[in-house]
Amino acid sequence: MRIGRWTLVLLLTLVSLPASAQFMLGGGIEYFSWTEDTQPIKVKERGPLGVFTIGYTQVKPVGWLLAYRGRFYVGEVDYDGALLFAPNVPVSSQTRYIGAANEGQLRYRTQAFDVLAALGIDAWNRSLSANQEEDYRIVYARLGLEHVNAQRGWLFGAGVKYPLWTQEDAHFTNLGFDQNPKLNPGKDLSGFAQLGYRFDPHWALIGYADGYRFKESNQVFVTAGGVPQGSFVQPATDTYVIGVKAEYTF
């Protein structure tokens, strides 16, 4: 996977959108958390990610409208866990993340709030070492409510999120195995929320929380030199971000 492809899709999508709309650009920082249910030592990753956001919303006072949200994120976080082939040996290092999410939204706007239904794809690279990396592709749906203030005042929203399709490429051949079977992390429900304040029609400061919950993946079997080497799974994983961003609307 190449994250640059998803960034290009994000930019081309905005170029093709009609002009009768609000466009948003934003940037900020997120606190990232990743926890795997591994035994005897849990894998924990914690640290900051930089984030750039971009968006579009049709201009309508009430009724059905379309919207788009894009997010690009990158950073290095602290890794505390164990060695892949020696799960009893603790290790601390750094994990690099780079990813992009694209989300299409259908909204129904009333005088008080927007009812939100969204479908998106989130793709990221998780690089744990020179030889060990993982590529994730997640197709997800979101449902929620948002209070939108176009002039000045509080912004808030909340809802639920569910992964419809999951795929993890663990690059087993980079680790010396003959095959590279794909893993499919199990699906579970999670939530999202945001709270912010719009200072004027252009500038807003927004805090938010989002994430995924994955159940244990399917089991895959690999060989090395034709000799069976056992099986692998992606353990049950909880991951979330808590972030703050400044957003400019024009």
Structure tokens at 28: 């900020």
Nearest to 13 by CA among 59, 52, 71: 71
pLDDT along the chain (250 residues), means of 10: 53 51 95 96 97 96 96 98 89 97 98 96 95 96 94 96 98 96 98 97 97 98 96 97 97
Structure tokens at 177: 């195995």
pLDDT at res. 6:
52
> Token match 């024009």: residue?
250
Q: 56: Cβ–Cβ under 8 A, 6 or more apart, which residues?
A: 14, 17, 21, 22, 23, 24, 67, 68
Beta bridge partners of 136: 124, 168
pLDDT at res. 2:
53
C-alpha to C-alpha distance for 126 and 113, rounded to whole angstroms: 36
Q: Where are the domains of the chain?
A: 3-249
Question: 3-249: CATH homologous superfamily?
Answer: OPCA outer membrane adhesin/invasin (2.40.128.100)
C-alpha to C-alpha distance for 226 and 86, rounded to whole angstroms: 22
C-alpha to C-alpha distance for 151 and 164, rounded to whole angstroms: 36
What letter represents residue 118's amino acid?
A
Evaluate whether 222 touches 188 at the Cβ level (below 8 Å): no
C-alpha to C-alpha distance for 91 and 248, rounded to whole angstroms: 42
Peptide bond before residue 40 is cis, with ω within 30 degrees of 0:
yes
pLDDT at res. 130:
83
**pTM (2 d.p.):** 0.90
pLDDT at res. 34:
98
Give the SS3 label for residue 11: helix
pLDDT at res. 150:
82
- Altogether, the residues listed in the chain come to a count of 250
